[in-house]
Homo-oligomer: A and B are copies of this chain.
Amino acid sequence: MKHFHLTEELAQEITGAGRVEQLFAALANATGRMGFDHFALAFDRRGNDGASMLVHNYPDAWAKIYVGFDLGAADPIRRAGERSVTGFQWRDVNRYIPLSRGDRQLLNVARESGVGDGFTVPRHLPGEASGSCSFAVSPRAALPADMLHAAEILGAIAIASARELIGSSPLRPRPVLTERQRECVLWSARGKTAGEIGDILGISEETVVRHLKMARDRYSVHCRSMLILCALFDGLIGFSDIYDWWRPN
């Protein structure tokens, strides 16, 4: 690997950060040494507390707009990060997600605010946390192509470091469903109606309705879609469990 020693040195610094300030300093240093202009490290823990961390040195203009208008909820980069397990260049986001008009507009505003292209390393621990570490350059600058591998590694380390700092997350007490409830949710996620599920499982439709009812109660949700999403998010069912049923290609 090129720049092996530099990567090693910066990795040490990031890993060794015991406080947020040190993490900021280490990342700022790494950003500059790699040839980027800005960085942004975001970490969100999904749990009872929902602790989160955001460390960055973006230009004030962009930071104010982003935070002020709560653009995070619509940020295509963040959305693309949920579609990739490897680092990606912002210019390639349309490989991961379709860009809507609003998305392009957002990227334009970012450019006008001093943030051009970038490289984002996403990491997800569904049900526990998700984080991303982005390295960006100014509008007309080019990404340091020979540093993307280093960025990938350092970004991942930074996310791990953030996770350490924010505290290890005990496994959230999940409203685990019973076996039968889970089966009903699974078949429901496969697009079956209560009646069909009843036929499949060899029980009454009413009983299926009952299982789904109990499952909704446990998650305190009021509709089947939410129930499926909860089960999906908690890992009770997986995309691979259901993919073939609604994408019959």
Contacts and interface: CB of A to CB of B under 8 A. Distances in A.
Interface of A: 44, 46-50, 72-74, 78-80, 82-85, 94-98, 100-102, 123-127, 130, 171, 174, 176, 179, 182, 188-189, 191, 193, 219, 221-226, 228-230, 232-244, 246-247, 249
B240 A79 contact: yes
Contact of A127 (B74, B83, B188, B237): B83
Contact of A79 (B130, B225, B226, B238): B238
A148 B22 CA distance: 30
A124 B85 contact: yes
Contacts of A225: 188-189, 191, 224-225, 228
A189 B182 CA distance: 20
Q: Choose among A47, A79, A238, A249 the residue with the greatest number of B CB atoms under 10 Å from its CB.
A: A238
24 contacts: A46-B243, A46-B247, A47-B249, A73-B240, A73-B244, A79-B240, A82-B235, A83-B126, A83-B127, A83-B235, A96-B235, A97-B234, A97-B238, A98-B174, A100-B179, A100-B182, A102-B179, A130-B240, A191-B221, A221-B246, A226-B246, A228-B228, A229-B242, A229-B246
A46 B247 CA distance: 9
A79 to B, nearest CB: 4
Q: Choose among A179, A189, A225, A232 the residue with the greatest number of B CB atoms under 10 Å from its CB.
A: A225
Given A49-B249, A242-B229, A236 B85 contact: no
